[in-house]
Amino acid sequence: MYKKKILEDLIKRKVILISDHDKPFKLSSGVTSHHYYNSKNCILDPQGLDLISELLLKEVRKFNVKSVGGLETGSIPLVSAICLKSSLTESNPLSAFFVRKEPKKHGPQSDGPLAYFEGNPISPIVIVDDVITTGNSVIDKTLDRIKKLGNMEVIGIVCIIDREQGAERLFKKHNLEFYSLFKHSNFKEYIDKKIMEKKKIYEHKQTKKLEPQSIPL
């Protein structure tokens, strides 16, 4: 719990971004939001990646799987670090792989289902991701492509942050266990407070603009 608390504080300081009140962020889904989880700020931080890989490995091992993988590019440092951590601490280390967004155009395995893969997927598998919102991309771009390899069993999905926008329900329909180190609700109070602070700054600026200006005599 101590290490998880350290990671939680890192996420608050480095991952959670709050927009100006009048300039919300546009998310990949097309909707706008006053907060944004930029997980790369923590994944690419030495302390952050060390904590994340240790905590994710602990959860992955509960599934009794042989490999971990996910969609590029967010999952690449995660599965690499988890694999490395397991090789340093376990006698039976995990294998790592990632799924490409576009198939390889050259070299070996540049056609067929394997054109989407780098690394060595070994069944059974856990899919790893950084931040999951609805879960649709995990199903459409990762799970479905793994299934096309044939004889591959995906046991579950593990991520750093669940934005709690339907992913858990979707994964349940696909009979997939789902675990996140943190949920959006863990940070909601903190985020709401920061958004309110930005709103007050905006309102103060607007009030100053509306104040009558004194005319020098």
Series of mean pLDDT values for 10-residue runs along the chain (217 residues): 93 96 83 92 96 96 95 94 94 94 77 86 96 92 93 95 94 96 97 95 82 61
Length of the chain: 217
Q: 0.85 exceeded by the pTM? A: yes
Q: Which residues pair with 99 in a beta bridge?
A: 71, 117
E runs forming strands in the chain: 16-18, 25-26, 32-33, 35-37, 67-71, 95-99, 117-119, 125-132, 154-162, 177-183
What's residue 215's pLDDT? 57
Whose CA is closest to 176, among 191, 163, 159?
A: 159
Read off φ and ψ for residue 36, nearest 5 degrees: -150, 135
**Residue 69 amino acid letter:** G
What's residue 217's pLDDT? 54
Q: SS3 for 189?
A: helix
Q: How many other C-beta atoms are found inside a 10 Å radius of the C-beta of residue 109?
A: 13
Residue 6 tokens read as 């350290």
Q: Are 75 and 101 in contact (CB under 8 A)?
A: no
Burial class (CB in 10 A: 0-12, 13-18, 19+), 105: exposed
Q: Are 125 and 99 in contact (CB under 8 A)?
A: no
Q: Are 153 and 176 in contact (CB under 8 A)?
A: no
What's residue 132's pLDDT? 93
What's residue 30's pLDDT? 74
CA 211 to chain centre: 45
Q: Name the CATH architecture for the domain at 49-185.
A: 3-Layer(aba) Sandwich (3.40)
